[in-house]
Amino acid sequence: MAIHMPVVDGVGHVPYVGTIAPDENRHIANILYYAGRSVWAGPVITDAPAQLLSMGEIERFPSYVYYYVTSFPVKAMLDVGAPYSVIVVALRFLNVLIAAAGLLVVHRLVRSMGMSLWVATLVVLLLAGTGRYEWQAAAVTYDTPANTLFFLCLLYCARLIRSSAQGYADLFRALVFGATAIVVKYTFVPFVLVAVAVAVVLVVQRDGLRTFAHPLQRFRRAFVEHPVTSALWSALFVVTMAVLVERIGGNLLLYGQFNPSCPKLHTHQECLSFDIYRRNYWAERTHDLAIADQVPQTPFDVFEFVGSWISAYFQSMFFYRGRNTTWQVETWVQVAGALTFVIAVIATLVSFRSLVRTRALIWGMVVAGSYVVAMFLFNLRTFLRLDNEYAFSGRYLIPVLPLVFAFAVLAAVALWRTLPPGVAPDGRGAGSGPRRRRARHVRRTRGLLHLRAGRVLVHADGPPPVARFPDGGCPHDRRPTDAPPGPT
């Protein structure tokens, strides 16, 4: 292997150890390995030596596209003799730009779900202020581009639900961005399928199959009206599907797994060079030997596990400061977080009907809920199998965190509206005189808010095509594609 600078040292360690993302050093090593290969070698690796397993299994790893694409600018920097530290900083800056683009996509996503401008802006501010999102954005990792691509998939799913006027176009773009998110990080497979499938079901339930009628005619018309953009979208779709078929399809056919376990490709002794495989192997072996030797086991307590799971995600989500963070969150912060969680659950239960009052909100609830439940079950399975809290990290919830924040804001507003009429917004009694008049004004204002809730926070499924009706309703449940989502 000819490369301008060392990828790994003699014992398989990256010289410049990443300190932001947990696996940043492995991501950097893979990018440098691709950069050291010939351009004509292509992305498929079939002859990786066993000593490179310190970087992970790279021959059939399904999430290699990020490494391959970013290796091209790195190759150019290596050719001009750029220092190693400059390459790392450049890769981190690239991810910062991608994460910033993700915030813009989130803003449009929330608006496309029918929420007002201030809700969308608040969700973006909450996401940007989340510690894990900030630090993950500044790391060399495929999580950031995969999350942004998943946001784009969700955006076009929401647009499809809000208006079927361009049903095929929105569905096609949702599929392209979803497939691209999968080739960047293969674990998005089930969540992309859920997002797209639920969106299609809701549209068909509302409009019938006519939304997706005459596919060939619409496809030809799209090429006639927009030949360049249609050709670019088609090319991206073909390339993405080729990668999916070659890597994930091939893995399923040959090994029966999306990501084949290391021993299916290498010997057990060789795989022990891979830190994740080595960690899981020894944890599982220790757990099995303890059971075989009849060592007393600590009884599994589901309530203790749930509390530990929530605490781990809370701390690693909002207080992450690099991979070497020591979790020493103050007690009062943990208590405040627990109270906030309890209030959020109560607000969600109290306002649940208002949180599922439109198809877009139902879709968002299903996507966010299924994702969180899947992560919980995955962590539970890992804990029962390895007897360790591996992969208990807030970064795994970032893909649906914007939806969680959006529903939290809606639930908080709905909970505020359920307060007794005599309680002023500042929490004090109405009293007499000016306070009583103020309470009457608040009651009248709340009545208007309830009557016009669809125009204040969430439109039922989009504004009417010509003019707003007094009740904010829409007779045909759709909007023109050039109309801004939600109220202006």
- The whole-angstrom separation of Cα 133 and Cα 290 is 39
The whole-number pLDDT of residue 414 equals: 84
The whole-number pLDDT of residue 380 equals: 93
The whole-number pLDDT of residue 345 equals: 82
Cβ proximity of 185 and 63 under 8 Å: yes
pLDDT at 231 over 70: yes
* pLDDT more than 90, % of the chain: 42
Question: Computed from CA positions of residues 114, 116, 119, 120, in that sequence, does the dihedral angle turn out positive or negative?
Answer: positive
- The whole-angstrom separation of Cα 190 and Cα 426 is 45
pLDDT at 337 over 80: no
The whole-number pLDDT of residue 268 equals: 92
More confident residue, 75 or 314: 75
Mean pLDDT across the stretch 68-94?
91
The whole-number pLDDT of residue 458 equals: 53
More confident residue, 355 or 379: 379
pLDDT at 4 over 60: no
Mean pLDDT across the stretch 389-403?
91
pLDDT at 483 over 90: no
pLDDT at 52 over 70: yes
Q: What one-letter code names the amino acid at 211?
A: T
Q: Annotate 158-168 with b (16+ C-beta within 10 A) or e (fewer).
A: bbbbbbbbbbb
> At a CB cut-off of 8 Å and minimum separation 6, what does 437 contact?
none
Identify how many contiguous H helices and E strands the chain contains and give both numbers: 20, 0
Rounded-to-5 percentages of helix, strand, coil across the chain: 65, 0, 30
* pLDDT more than 70, % of the chain: 80
The whole-number pLDDT of residue 349 equals: 82
pLDDT in tens, 410-449: 988 888 887 776 554 444 433 344 444 554 554 454 444 4
pLDDT at 331 over 80: no
The whole-number pLDDT of residue 455 equals: 42
- The whole-angstrom separation of Cα 216 and Cα 443 is 55
